[in-house]
Amino acid sequence: MIAWANFTPVPAFVGGLLIGVAAAMLILLNGRIAGVSGILGRLLQSWGKESAWSVVFVLGLVLAPWFYSLAAPLPEAQIEAGHARLIIAGLLVGIGTRLASGCTSGHGVCGLSRLSLRSLAATITFMLAGIVTVSVVRHLLA
Amino acid sequence: MRLLTAFVSGLIFGLGLIISGMTNPAKVIGFLDIFGHWDPSLGLVMGGAILVGVFAFTYAKSRKTSLLGNTMQLPTNSTIDKKLLGGSLLFGIGWGLAGYCPGPAIASLLSDYTQPLIFTTAMLGGMWISSKLS
């Protein structure tokens, strides 16, 4: 059943276009992939000549809510997960994205835009895993 | 210049995540909840991003250097193996559990909530563990 009351097509699409513009900028101007988990993971591993741009890219991401709040109040977030679930989820996301060399941005946006089958396989897998997890937590265990 | 463009790219990326609703875990979980009250919005986020991305990456593939003269670093790995699928499986489970993936978690650190900080700390810990395992 589609929850039409929660459906926000315009902000979703406009936000998506902006994400696309950001990824386009980074590949066309800098020749680099806007994959957030890869950028973070490489920063944690070692400091090298790729690190400076990676740090300022992450800084841009971090400061985005601050810039947003100059124009309008930040949208509210509803966070169901308690501390234990957040920690388990964070560990799984950290380990999983590094094993897979990418997340929603690297595989889901950049990889699919490159028409990469490897990224398509990754995206289908994490989408299905997410759907199954939400179904189990919301409908089987609840 | 390269640093400025990387900063602006990160900033626009983050603004896109906030505007689209990706920084609200309930919205993300609503998208994954296809057997409950399904909110298809995030499909449009991906659609919008890929719509722009396809043009950018098609053009990028035809170039050896970026417009600012850097090497064009497009991924060359095309193997679909257990590491890719197993990693994506773990990632998807974590994504469904909390409703955060890496970008939105980072773009929520400077919000009124402490949860993104807890999630991000654990995520960086997981990335660190992963680098020690391989």
Buried b (16+ CB within 10 A) or exposed e, A41-80: bbbeeeeeeeeebbbbbbbbbbbbbeebeeeeebeebebe
Residues 100-119, chain B: which have Cβ within 8 Å of A?
100-103, 105-113, 115, 118-119
What does the pLDDT average to over A105-130?
A: 97
What is the arithmetic mean of pLDDT over B90-118? 97
The pLDDT assigned to B61 comes to 95
Give yes or no for residue B125 having a pLDDT over 80.
yes
Residue ranges of A 92-131 with Cβ closer than 8 A to chain B: 92-101, 103-105, 107-118, 121-123, 125-131
Residues of chain A in contact with residue B15, where contact means CB-CB under 8 angstroms, are 15, 18, 64, 67-68
Task: Domain count for chain B, please give it.
Answer: 1
CB within 8 Å: B91 and A93: yes
Torsion of CA A25, A29, A33, A39, to 10 degrees: -100
Identify all chain B residues contacting A94, using CB atoms and an 8 Å cutoff.
94, 122-130
**B118: containing domain:** 2-133
CB within 8 Å: B52 and A23:
yes
> Could you give the CA distance from residue B128 to residue B3 in angstroms, rounded to a whole number?
25
Per-residue pLDDT reduced to its tens digit, B17-72: 999 999 999 999 999 999 999 999 999 999 999 999 999 999 999 999 999 999 99
ipTM > 0.90 for the complex: yes
Tens-place pLDDT, residues A95-117: 999 999 999 999 999 999 999 99
Give yes or no for residue A142 having a pLDDT over 80. no
From the candidates A97, A124, A137, which should be mutated to test the interface with B, based on the most B CB atoms within 10 A? A97
CB contact under 8 A, A126 and B18: no
Question: Measuring CA to CA, which residue among B114, B3, B16, B102 is closest to residue A12?
Answer: B16
Give the CA radius of gyration of chain B: 17
pLDDT for res B85: 98
Model confidence at A1, pLDDT cuts 50, 70, 90, reads confident
Report yes or no: B76 at the A interface, CB cutoff 8 Å: no
Position B132 scores a pLDDT of 87
- Whole-number Å distance between alpha carbons of B70 and B92: 33
Higher pLDDT, B10 or A3: B10
Q: How many structural domains does chain A have? A: 1
pLDDT of B124 above 80 = yes
Give the range of the structural domain holding residue A91, as residue numbers without chain letter: 4-140
For residue A5, is pLDDT > 90? Answer: no
Confirm or reject contact between B18 and chain A (CB < 8 A). yes
List, in order, residues 6 or more apart from A54 with CB less than 8 Å away.
Answer: A39, A42, A43, B6
Asked whether the predicted pLDDT for residue B1 surpasses 90, the reply is: no
pLDDT tens for residues A10-60?
999 999 999 999 999 999 999 999 999 999 999 999 899 999 999 999 999
In the three-class reduction of DSSP (H, G, I as helix; E, B as strand; rest coil), residue A59 is classed as helix
